[in-house]
Amino acid sequence: MNHIVTEVKGDGINKVKVGNLELEVVGEIEVDGKIYKVVNVPNADEFPGFPPSWDWVRKSMLTWRPFFKGKMVKVGDIEVPSVGDFLLNLDEDMYELVRRIYETFKVNKPPIEVNVSVVVTDHIHELERKLGRTFSEEEMSNLYIRYAIELAILRDVGLIN
């Protein structure tokens, strides 16, 4: 797993509850005089089973306009999502999904017809552009489910609602 935050102090053996999920604390980092605990957030492949919010997210994809409850904290030259005193250490793809949600729903205030499904579809199309190929229908469905699981994880840690 390639995580965004790498400069932390700690041994990574303790866990803490962030929202509804128990996450591994990999260390602490000071940003602008505030101490944050850095927690690893699992992606869809790493999460055992389905997150608690899975059913709700699955049923709400076409109508859900997430509220970005967390903050983006500047660490070096990157903005890292945070919830309270926790910096969320995400893999790069999940981080890009968070950025897309943040930009769409927190920064830009889109028209009412834009929902999280539109954001996920755009994210998948961007991945196609990066890879230089078009995904099959099965690949698109698998990615859509993957990102819906990751949205449920992000909802369960309290980053979005």
Helix residue spans in the chain (DSSP H): 54-60, 92-101, 116-131, 137-156
Partnered with residue 80 across adjacent β-strands are 73
For residue 109, what pLDDT is reported? Answer: 86
Rounded to two decimals, the pTM is 0.91
For residue 1, what pLDDT is reported? Answer: 41
User: How far, in Å, are 25, 76, 134 from residue 54 at the CA level?
Assistant: 23, 33, 27
For residue 106, what pLDDT is reported? Answer: 94
Residue 98, C-beta contacts closer than 8 angstroms, at least 6 positions apart: 81, 88, 90, 154, 159
pLDDT tens across the length of the chain (161 residues) = 445 444 445 554 699 999 999 999 999 999 999 999 999 999 999 999 999 999 999 999 999 999 999 999 999 999 999 999 999 999 999 999 999 999 999 999 899 999 999 999 999 999 999 999 999 999 999 999 999 999 999 999 999 99
For residue 9, what pLDDT is reported? Answer: 52
For residue 6, what pLDDT is reported? Answer: 45
